[in-house]
Amino acid sequence: MNCDVITPEVFLDRSLKNEVSGPVIVNGCVRDPKIWMGMEILNVAHGFASPPCQPWSGAGSELGLSSEDGKVFQTCCALLEIFT
């Protein structure tokens, strides 16, 4: 199965034009509102997130929420609230 790798801008544009008919890879930051808007337009019901593990790993920094990477977890959680 092949799918396009697209930017958040293209993703939002295609979502607005109802041109996302199959799987796509959006290469961008989860904090980018264009990704969120595109997902809301598509009425995404279920998500699977794998936030950076280094802030929580014993082999990594273990900086938790003190690091920018650690805060990505909270961003992922906030998605649910926004879309509901």
Partner 1 sequence: MISLIVENVPGISKSADYQKLLTTAALDGMRFLCAGVHSCARVLPLYRGRWLASFCHSSVYIDSDDMTSAGLISLSADAVGAALPGPCLKASDAVHPPSSKFDRSVLVPGDEVFAMLNRSDLDPKWMASKINWSMQNPVINARIITSDMKLVGVVAQYGSQHLLPIDHLKAKGLQTMLYEDEGSLRFFALGFSPSVVISGNLKEAYHQVGNAISPVHAWIQIAKTHTLLGKMTMLPVACDVIQTLQKILDRAIKLSAFTPVLRGDFAILVTWFL
Instruction: Give yes or no for residue 22 binding partner 1 (CB under 8 A).
Output: no
Cβ proximity of 28 and 9 under 8 Å: no
Q: Between 16 and 78, whose beta carbon lies closer to partner 1?
A: 78
Q: Between 18 and 43, whose beta carbon lies closer to partner 1?
A: 43
Cα separation, 7 vs 10, whole angstroms: 5
Cα separation, 29 vs 69, whole angstroms: 11
Which residues lie near partner 1 (CB under 8 A)? 1-2, 39, 44-51, 53-54, 56-60, 62, 64-66, 70, 73-74, 76-84
